[in-house]
Amino acid sequence: MTEKQHITIKGVKDGLIFLLDDNCEFSTLLDELQYKLEKSHQQLLTGPIVHVQVKLGTRQVNEEEKERIKAAIRQQGNLLVQSVESEVKAEPKPEDGNNLKLITGIVRSGQTLEHDGSLLLLGDVNPGGTVLCTGDIFVLGALRGLAHAGCKGNKEAVIAASLLRPTQLRIDEIISRPPDEWMTGDAQMEYAFLSDGVMKIDKMTQLQRLRKLPVVFRA
């Protein structure tokens, strides 16, 4: 049998650690384990009692499979299995737009600023400039170009600016109405959000109602 590398045996202070590949077939794993115990690692595995920890990576095994691993190792009389453990496989986190990035500068005509997460831009977005984010977009300056928030399906994203005068706004796949239909002419910071699939504009002070943000202070 040609020795494979699905199993790595490491010596540690308290004994040995068997690192088992979590991708190959279970039967392949057992065959290689048997081979290493009987043929290729005799010198390492002989001698006084040795404590063994078995690490399965993210492989999940039932009690029968766990017992088969233990039984194979116990055949080597001096090996004492202390544990057979699997790691908990982390669930992928949904994109929530909380990866906030701070950028200072001006997005000029013909430029596109992209970010995976939310963006705080200390500067302006000029006509012809584009800001594209998977999360929220906050512009502490004039937004006069195109801004697309929640571009990977985040309908909860918002677009806010000190001066909201865009050529176009997009949240998820929803595109704003022509700016002259909703511009208030007010100099207060405003934000765009989706409500029942329709884009709406409100004062930034009202964002707390949408996001349930904590109140830091009251006037």
One domain, residues 81 and 21: yes
Q: Are 121 and 133 in contact (CB under 8 A)?
A: no
One domain, residues 106 and 45: no
Provide the token pair at 76: 């080597």
Domain for residue 93, yes or no?
A: no
- Can you give the CATH number for the domain in which 155 is found? 2.160.20.70
- Specify the pLDDT at position 213: 47
Q: Are 133 and 119 in contact (CB under 8 A)?
A: yes
Sheet holding 100-104, edge to edge: 100-104, 118-122, 137-143, 159-164, 190-195, 198-203
- Residue ranges making up the domain that contains 153: 100-211
Nearest-angstrom CA–CA distance, 157 and 167: 19
Domain for residue 218, yes or no?
A: no
One domain, residues 52 and 146: no
Domain end among 20, 50, 85: 85
Domain for residue 91, yes or no?
A: no
One domain, residues 196 and 121: yes
Domain end among 60, 85, 110: 85
**Domain count for the chain:** 2
Instruction: Spell out the per-residue pLDDT of the chain, length 219, in tens.
Output: 444 578 888 888 888 888 998 888 999 889 988 888 877 666 666 668 888 899 998 888 888 999 999 998 888 778 888 888 887 655 544 444 457 899 999 999 999 999 999 999 999 999 999 999 999 999 999 999 999 999 999 999 999 999 999 999 999 999 986 665 556 556 678 999 998 888 888 888 777 666 654 444 443
- Specify the pLDDT at position 89: 55
Q: Is 9 helix (H, G, I), strand (E, B) or coil?
A: strand
